[in-house]
């Protein structure tokens, strides 16, 4: 296959599609060569089958790069945290184990996907089509952007289609008859009309009193509840690309020079190729071309890249950096209409034909070049500042002033904070770890520049550190008083509300002074603003013969409420809505069944995780 190990934009919608396939494709855990290497150390073993460390790292790097491209700074900021990386690795190995379990189960069920099915799936995939027809050039470019070759993608697709077969089997085994769908819809879309008499908790709390003895007794009985977390006060400085970008100008001379030095970046070529596994076969084909043979016919007859081969080796229009460097470097040196001698590209041999070439003029790419030059100048200046800040922070460990002057920023200072209320400017895993867990935690030293995003770093020093301890009675007094008042208020309100529920059926107008029922309100699961209150309303028994039903419920603010349920309207849907609802129910049930299947497979499986490798305990 032509396109292997290539770099491209991984944040396109097609890249996300590919990642989706990859997520399920590792069912094909035993694929030779690519997925498993029996010589390396294991990451996990599932019923004797090995998930290798090579497989784990390939998948980890792939997911890491894709998430970094999709989520940008937010992801990169977290990736410096050992805890975050460990969670990422733990989550991945659990998914790989699940996928291996499903692969083994699919094998047990004798599920099979033929080569013809794979080819048909590729050709009919809209992601690989232009104007409704399969476009091999587009197909090759998409694989290139995701560092895949055709054989690897076929393996990925085989796994995805195998899983699809299994999921179809689950779907066929789980169905709901129309009556069941209708009954579920009636409940889900049911509307309940109720009036509410609210007994406000906050108001009741103001009427409660708490004695000094009650506070003291509660404190002595619950001292563990008043642990004061460790706290710090810090100074810090932060430098971002925005700080550095001020004043950067790009001249026309710099733009013209970049264009001359990098013309290959602005050239598109329409290429074709013939791929061989060994040099001897490639040389034989080259001699045939020299003797007048048709390039297209040789590609159809001999190219290992079968999909392009069927089209005479056509790869379509290709831009810079979409193909391996050796391939592109060879193509750019060829005159239009000429083919190359066999060239080794990642272990395969290619004869490359340049069919057309287009060069974009300077005026067309001037803005693009200005952005590239500005980005390069910014990077150089930013990393120069970072280097100077690092040196100054180390040389003068008693202050951040010298480092701040080197960066052209000011030193900032925080109040005391714990791990639970970290200032937003410092709330990054690696910064938090440096403040609380590193050598600088006890003060007297500056941190190194800590990367918290793309071209954004923080340097921090701890001014004061308070160890974890138990709050004194005076420090905890206000908190205890509030809690005890709430407890007393809730008890009083529940007693009042319970008495009202008992009396209202016979005396519907009997309410305490200052408390009235609201106008009728409609509650449903479809539109719920307060889940606690809605669940309380739906826990009430339906009224009989139009009688009002009363019950004590709560809302999310903690208020005690006497609810008067007056009417229940069953949900009604038309045929189309009912069909859509049924499909959603079926999907939810299928997901539940898949979860249950995985749990059952795990319960009877022998699973061994290499914790030292996953937690990187063997790494320096």
Segment 442-461, tens digit of pLDDT: 888 999 999 988 889 999 99
Structure tokens at 555: 């809302």
**What are the distances in angstroms from CA 207 to CA 130, 202, 496?**
74, 9, 15
Is residue 615, in this structure, part of any structural domain at all?
Answer: no
Question: In CATH, what number is assigned to the domain containing residue 318?
Answer: 3.10.50.40
Rounded Cα distance between 9 and 23, Å, is 19
Based on the domain organization, do 445 and 311 belong to the same domain?
Answer: no
Indicate if the alpha-carbon torsion angle 376, 379, 384, 385 is positive or negative. positive
Last residue of a domain, one of 470, 490, 513: 470
Question: In CATH, what number is assigned to the domain containing residue 84?
Answer: 1.10.4030.10
Q: How does DSSP classify residue 577?
A: H
Number of domains in the chain: 5
Structure tokens at 366: 């001037």
Q: How confident is the model at residue 180 (pLDDT cuts 50, 70, 90)?
A: confident
Are 586 and 185 in contact by the 8 Å Cβ rule? The answer is: no
Specify the pTM: 0.47
Is residue 608, in this structure, part of any structural domain at all?
Answer: no
pLDDT digits (tens, 9 = 90+) for 46-90: 999 999 998 899 888 888 888 888 887 777 777 777 778 888 899
| Mean of the per-residue pLDDT values of the chain | 84
Phi/psi region, residue 312 (left: phi>0; alpha: psi -120 to 50; beta: rest), is left
Is residue 195, in this structure, part of any structural domain at all?
Answer: yes
pLDDT digits (tens, 9 = 90+) for 544-564: 777 899 999 999 999 999 999
Nearest CA to 144 out of 316, 369, 280, 388 is that of 316
- What average pLDDT does range 474-486 have in this prediction? 94
Based on the domain organization, do 166 and 49 belong to the same domain?
Answer: yes
Is residue 337, in this structure, part of any structural domain at all?
Answer: yes
Rounded Cα distance between 232 and 416, Å, is 5
Based on the domain organization, do 496 and 541 belong to the same domain?
Answer: yes
Based on the domain organization, do 379 and 235 belong to the same domain?
Answer: yes
pLDDT (0 to 100) of residue 176: 59
Based on the domain organization, do 378 and 349 belong to the same domain?
Answer: no
Based on the domain organization, do 545 and 486 belong to the same domain?
Answer: yes
Portion of the chain with pLDDT greater than 70, in percent: 91
Q: How confident is the model at residue 582 (pLDDT cuts 50, 70, 90)?
A: confident
Is residue 178, in this structure, part of any structural domain at all?
Answer: no
Is residue 128, in this structure, part of any structural domain at all?
Answer: yes
pLDDT (0 to 100) of residue 319: 85
Length of the chain: 620
Whether the per-residue pLDDT at 570 is higher than 90: the answer is: no
130 CB-contact burial (10 Å; exposed 0-12 / middle 13-18 / buried 19+) = exposed
Indicate if the alpha-carbon torsion angle 48, 51, 53, 54 is positive or negative. positive
Structural domain that includes position 526: 191-221+476-569
Residue with tokens 């030292």: 612
> Which run of H or E residues covers position 23?
helix 13-25
Rounded Cα distance between 31 and 99, Å, is 13
Residue 198, classed as helix, strand or coil, is: strand
**What are the distances in angstroms from CA 492 to CA 197, 199, 201, 208?**
15, 10, 10, 10
Based on the domain organization, do 350 and 493 belong to the same domain?
Answer: no
Based on the domain organization, do 211 and 156 belong to the same domain?
Answer: no
- 24 vs 446, more confident: 446
Is residue 149, in this structure, part of any structural domain at all?
Answer: yes
Q: How confident is the model at residue 3 (pLDDT cuts 50, 70, 90)?
A: very low
Portion of the chain with pLDDT greater than 90, in percent: 44
């Amino acid at each position: 296959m032509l396109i292997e190990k290539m770099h491209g934009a991984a944040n396109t919608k097609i890249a996300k599609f590919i990642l989706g396939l990859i997520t399920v494709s590792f069912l094909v855990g035993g694929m030779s060569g690519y997925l498993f290497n029996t010589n390396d150390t294991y990451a996990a073993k599932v019923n004797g089958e090995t998930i290798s460390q090579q497989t784990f790292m390939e998948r980890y790097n792939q997911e890491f790069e894709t998430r970094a491209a999709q989520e940008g700074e937010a992801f990169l900021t977290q990736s410096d945290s050992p805890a975050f990386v460990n969670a990422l690795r733990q989550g991945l190995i659990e998914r790989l184990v699940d996928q291996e379990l499903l692969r083994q189960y699919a094998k047990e069920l004798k599920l099979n996907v033929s080569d013809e099915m794979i080819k048909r799936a590729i050709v009919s995939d809209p992601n690989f089509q232009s104007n409704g027809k399969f476009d091999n050039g587009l197909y090759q470019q998409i694989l290139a952007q995701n560092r895949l070759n055709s054989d690897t993608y076929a393996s990925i697709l085989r796994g995805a289609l195998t899983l699809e077969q299994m999921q179809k089997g689950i779907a066929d085994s789980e169905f709901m008859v129309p009556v069941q769908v209708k009954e579920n819809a009636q409940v889900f879309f049911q509307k309940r009309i109720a009036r509410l008499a609210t007994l406000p908790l906050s108001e009741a709390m103001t009427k409660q009193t708490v004695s000094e003895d009650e506070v003291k007794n509660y404190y002595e009985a619950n001292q563990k509840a008043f642990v004061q977390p460790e706290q710090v006060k810090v100074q810090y400085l932060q430098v971002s690309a925005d700080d550095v970008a001020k004043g950067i100008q790009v001249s026309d001379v710099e733009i013209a020079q970049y264009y001359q030095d990098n013309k290959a970046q602005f050239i598109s070529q329409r290429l074709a190729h013939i791929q061989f596994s060994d040099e001897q076969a490639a040389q034989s084909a080259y001699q045939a071309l020299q003797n007048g043979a048709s390039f297209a016919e040789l590609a159809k007859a001999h190219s290992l890249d079968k999909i392009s081969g069927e089209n005479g080796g056509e790869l379509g229009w290709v831009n810079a950096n979409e193909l391996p460097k050796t391939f592109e470097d060879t193509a750019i040196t060829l005159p239009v209409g000429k083919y190359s001698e066999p060239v080794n590209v990642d272990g395969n041999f290619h004869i490359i034909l340049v069919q057309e070439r287009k060069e974009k003029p300077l005026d067309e790419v001037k803005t693009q070049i200005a952005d590239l030059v500005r980005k390069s100048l910014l990077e150089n200046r930013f990393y120069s500042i970072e280097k100077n800040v690092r040196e100054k922070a180390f040389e003068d460990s008693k202050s951040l002033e010298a480092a701040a002057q080197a960066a052209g920023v000011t030193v900032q200072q925080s109040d005391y904070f714990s791990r639970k209320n970290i200032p937003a400017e410092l709330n990054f895993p690696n910064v938090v770890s440096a403040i609380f867990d590193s050598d600088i935690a006890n003060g007297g030293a500056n941190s190194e520049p800590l990367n918290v995003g793309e071209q954004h770093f923080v340097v921090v020093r701890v001014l004061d550190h308070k160890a974890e301890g138990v709050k004194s009675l005076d420090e905890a007094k206000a908190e205890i008083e509030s809690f005890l008042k709430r407890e007393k208020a809730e008890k009083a309100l529940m007693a009042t509300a319970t008495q009202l529920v008992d009396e209202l059926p016979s005396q519907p107008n009997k309410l305490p002074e200052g408390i009235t029922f609201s106008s009728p309100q409609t509650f449903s699961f479809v539109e719920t603003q307060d889940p606690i209150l809605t669940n309380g309303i739906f826990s009430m028994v339906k009224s009989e013969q139009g009688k009002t039903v009363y019950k004590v419920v709560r809302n999310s603010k903690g208020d005690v409420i006497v609810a008067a349920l007056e009417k229940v309207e069953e949900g009604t849907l038309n045929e189309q809505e009912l069909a859509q609802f049924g499909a959603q129910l079926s999907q939810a049930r299928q997901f539940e069944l898949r979860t249950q299947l995985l749990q059952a497979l795990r319960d009877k499986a022998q699973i061994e995780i290499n914790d030292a490798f996953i937690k990187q305990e063997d790494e320096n």
